[in-house]
A = this chain, B = another copy of it.
């Protein structure tokens, strides 16, 4: 697997998306896909776990057909597994059995190597992919139109893989307005460790440090109250991902443990460099680092 990240300009033929599209799960990602795909004129059939979810999904119009029976996927030419990582890595036998053998199957998980390892043996036409779109919302109420517009949708195809299957997933990404790119699965996991999973832990640590640091002062300072009263938009922004969904945070840590541990080691080193400049009163050096950061950030936006 040596595919380097490549953006593809021309959208592939819509032919790759003919026939009904199956969605497994109608949370934020699945529900948003359902809304966008129906708007493009596609037939969408969805499988959900609970009858209550199915009922609410029907009310919200997230798919034309919603069922708790995996047989709903029969006849689908493309199936998107919009499941949390734990359920994706440990799928029910009924789900695996219900996936049509000729259908292209893809997922939306935020870690790709373990998913690819697991699904390579489960379905002949599996393509690992990851739309980089998120929100603080989750569940059947979270799906919304245009979630993917302008966002990256990255696929990590196996070497010597199924070209038409990859083209179908690319057509799906194009249909919802996402920016398509492909890369190696290990490269993906390393990249998201740095820009998506590491920030969750550094941001969580900031909340913990503010709480614990504020617990320390003399009682008459009432630092816990003062610290909370003075926190402003900078603190809110910096702690947003650290104060997010704990289950998602644990799943990404579990599934991308090695790359995240490596990212943390690198982060600790960078922070210690800044700390040493503070300790040494090396203001020129600190200004150099912060100027570099100011110039660096726009490259990531």
Contact = CB atoms under 8 A, between A and B. Distances in A.
Interface residues of A, number: 106
B283 A239 contact: no
Given A275-B264, A279-B261, A199 B234 contact: yes
A217 B289 CA distance: 23
Main secondary structure, interface of A, reads helix
Contacts of A204: 274, 289-290, 293
Interface stretch (A28-36, A62-70, A89-97, A187-195): A187-195
A246 B293 CA distance: 8
B202 A253 contact: no
A239 B209 contact: no
A297 B187 contact: no
B236 A238 contact: no
Contact of A253 (B188, B242, B283): B283
Interface string A199-232: 1111111111111111001101111011111111
Given A201-B271, A257-B281, A263-B209, A229 B5 contact: yes
A187 B244 contact: no
9 contacts: A2-B218, A202-B202, A204-B274, A205-B271, A213-B266, A237-B241, A247-B287, A249-B287, A257-B281
